[in-house]
Structure 1
């Protein structure tokens, strides 16, 4: 980390570099923070950034506490400690631009990596839904919907009346046939779309008589 260098961004890109450097030097000097060198970027794609090298006696934390978010040429300063040695900044614009470009590429790479991580996490969430009662999107693509649902793993206490009570509140419900020996119920709707709406509402693992059961579409 550069011991006496600050990295500043969010600078006004519409003014000349000369005016920008003058304004930065002025605000730092006026607040008692002697400036040794200011390096701004000439590359138009990297405008709005600068490195400021201070006298050894300057406390950088005090500079940041005093002037962070202070307005210069109509924009608030975003100040942080520079990560590289200040010597690099004193060797000329070309190396400075090269350094800034590299820093920018690394930031983009880090940001892209985070975005990809979020994307992978989102895809994982689709494969394993946090709410186990809701239909999994990936699995929904593999299921062939029709107007008859099948509910399995029902407990011994479940009756046909319980199934009717559970499903009759959904639009298009016709009948509920319960096969007690197999602990299976067949639920028929008027059409496929109404059966799908019921399935989406109840989810893959609805509760019947306090027990988790399995709900899907009957095979055609």
Structure 2
């Protein structure tokens, strides 16, 4: 399994490295989908060597994206920082240490030494790092409180807003020009691989459904075309369809 570089909190003065440290990611998005979305978003700046993200409690909402050079990472950080990925503005800084992928690509002869040093650091700080100790204490307290608490009363069902629906292979399009045709939408969305079907609603011309062969392909198309001005004026709103 790919390991993330070590990232201490609050760097006093950032130094550009090949790896970006990303925070404030939408935790409702599946890890595989998030990694693919990040790769698709950053590949326009240069080769993406690796994307690291984990679903465990400590690493939730965070990821590392590694490039072949610090210059590429610096340009990507400057232009993408605060970009609202899945409706949450990303907070992007530079990782303090070099990732495994970067060392393996650029300094293969030092890879084993780098890996051994990283594992030793992880072992040495597992029980002494004050941030980790604080995290474990909070988690244990939360578990104890949860075990002791009485069952919470049921809340009334509230429909989740479209923007926060979990990814799937069908996209829901809104705010379409009423003159839009199926052929126009086919031409627009077929730019992205694995398009399966476009469905217009005869009685409501400003909405449509676009289905891809898989969830990942739909995610890439959604990220690329959300807010696209099909008629040069109105922005298309694209969300995942409700299941």
Q: Provide the TM-score with structure 2 as the length reference.
A: 0.35
Larger Rg: 1
Q: Provide the TM-score with structure 1 as the length reference.
A: 0.39
Larger strand fraction of residues: 1
